Amino acid sequence: MKKYIYFDYAATTPVDERVIRSMTPFLNEKFGNPSSMHFFGSDAKKALEKSRVIIAKSINANPDEIIFTSSATESNNMALKGIAFNKRKGHILVSSIEHDCVLNAAKWLSKNGFEVDFLPVDKNGIVSPKEVEKRIKKNTILVSVMHVNNEIGTIQPIEAIGKICKKNNIYFHSDAAQSFGKIPIDISNVDLLTISSQKIYGPKGAAALFIKNGVKIEPLLHGGGQEKGLRSSTENVPAIVGFAKAAEIAISTMEKEKERLTKLRDKIIETLTKEIPNCYLNGHPVKRIYNNVNVRFSFVEGEAILFMLNSYGIAVSTASACSSPKLEPSHVLSAMGLKQEEAHGSIRISLGRWTKESEVNYLLKVLPEVVKKLREISPYK
Q: Over the stretch 150-176, which tens digit does the pLDDT of each residue have?
A: 999 999 999 999 999 999 999 999 999
Interatomic CA distance for residues 323 and 372, integer angstroms: 27
Q: Is 286 helix (H, G, I), strand (E, B) or coil?
A: coil
Q: What is the pLDDT of residues 205-218, one digit of tens each?
A: 999 999 999 999 99
Identify which of 158, 89, 162 has the alpha carbon closest to the alpha carbon of residue 127. Answer: 158
Interatomic CA distance for residues 301 and 315, integer angstroms: 16
pLDDT of 329: 87
Identify which of 284, 299, 303, 300 has the alpha carbon closest to the alpha carbon of residue 348. Answer: 303
Compute the half-sphere exposure of residue 78: CA atoms within 13 Å on the CB side of its CA: 32
pTM over 0.85: yes
Torsion on CA atoms 55, 194, 348, 331, rounded to nearest 10: 180
Q: Which residues of 216-251 are buried (b: 16+ CB within 10 A; e: fewer)?
A: ebebeeeeeebbeebbeeebbbbbbbbbbbbbbbbb
Interatomic CA distance for residues 99 and 88, integer angstroms: 24
**Which ranges constitute the DSSP H helices of the chain?**
17-23, 25-28, 39-58, 72-87, 100-110, 129-135, 158-167, 237-252, 254-275, 302-311, 331-335, 340-344, 357-376
Interatomic CA distance for residues 75 and 264, integer angstroms: 32
DSSP assignment of 43-84 equals HHHHHHHHHHHHHHHHTT--GGGEEEES-HHHHHHHHHHHHH
pLDDT of 327: 66
Identify which of 132, 134, 142 has the alpha carbon closest to the alpha carbon of residue 169. Answer: 142
Catalytic residue status for 165: no
Q: What is the pLDDT of residues 104-126, one digit of tens each?
A: 999 999 999 999 999 999 999 99
Identify which of 313, 215, 274, 241 has the alpha carbon closest to the alpha carbon of residue 8. Answer: 313
Q: What is the pLDDT of residues 252-295, one digit of tens each?
A: 999 999 999 999 999 999 999 999 999 999 999 999 999 999 99
For the chain, give the mean pLDDT: 95
Residues whose CB falls within 8 Å of the CB of residue 45, separated by 6 or more in sequence, listed in order: 34, 35
Give me the catalytic one of 101, 165, 279, 322. 322
Q: Which residues of 47-69 are buried (b: 16+ CB within 10 A; e: fewer)?
A: bbeebbebbbbbbebeeebbbbb
pLDDT of 322: 54
Alpha carbon 77 to its chain centroid, in Å, reads: 14
Interatomic CA distance for residues 26 and 231, integer angstroms: 21
pLDDT of 381: 61
Is the pLDDT reported for residue 187 higher than 90? yes
Q: Which residues of 78-92 are buried (b: 16+ CB within 10 A; e: fewer)?
A: bbbbbbbeebeebbb
Is the pLDDT reported for residue 1 higher than 80? no
- Complete domains list, the chain, with CATH: 5-13+254-376 (3.90.1150.10), 17-252 (3.40.640.10)
